[in-house]
Amino acid sequence: MQDIVLSVLIPAHNPGKWLHKLINSLDTQAENYRQTEIIVVDDGSTEDLSWIERDYPSVRYIRTDNHGDAHARNVLLSEAKGQYIQFLDADDEIYPHALDIIYSNIAQGYDYVSYEFDTDHDPKRSFHNYGQIMVNCPVWAYTFRKDYIGGERFDESFQCSSDTDWLSRVLKEKSKSKHDERVFYNYRFDGNDGSLSHQFLRGEIGK
């Protein structure tokens, strides 16, 4: 059996139509990168996500009770078999060249790589960063070598921004790291009222 090089990790809670598009894009790209595993943890969705197992047998689907995004990410970390990990959010989008970019960086053996990303396909709202440590960014803005992470896990007491807390503990100045200005990720903000970010901004959830 071929060793897994990259684990793509997706926590999902009622992702709507977006998750199907995300998995379809990943599954298509992974045809050129057979060392990739895709894992989805269904965090107690009320939506029926059984189509994942039916339509995408290569994707590992894990159903849990609803304990929140941080718990789902911890389950994903425990299940990941890859040398590297890449988190994605179930309601966002990756571009057709995403795995090309990620694997080109993996080949260089970095501890982690940070990326820039689009927001709603609007160039004026794209994130541009000029340093390698972006603690205030989402966790999906990085590819990590799994050994580099070690035993660090997400604090499940956080309802929102657990990735910021986790990054503050994981990112270290003395690392073999790189910032890649190529963009493979589109963050959907407008029209995504059910996201944790929107719930936080409306005051519906705490930290």
Q: Per-domain residue ranges for the chain?
A: 6-201
pLDDT in tens, 130-173: 445 565 679 999 999 999 999 999 999 987 678 889 999 999 88
6-201 maps to CATH 3.90.550.10: yes
Element containing residue 187 per DSSP (H, E): strand 177-187
Higher pLDDT, 181 or 78: 78
Name which of 54-63, 119-128, 142-151, 189-198 the model is least confident about.
189-198
For the cut 50, the answer to whether the pLDDT of residue 191 exceeds it is yes
The pTM score is 0.88
**Integer Cα distance of 175 and 18 in angstroms:** 34
**Mean pLDDT within 56-70:** 96
- Please give the pLDDT value at position 24: 97
For the cut 90, the answer to whether the pLDDT of residue 180 exceeds it is yes
For the cut 60, the answer to whether the pLDDT of residue 1 exceeds it is no
Structural contact between residues 19 and 12, judged by C-beta atoms closer than 8 angstroms: yes
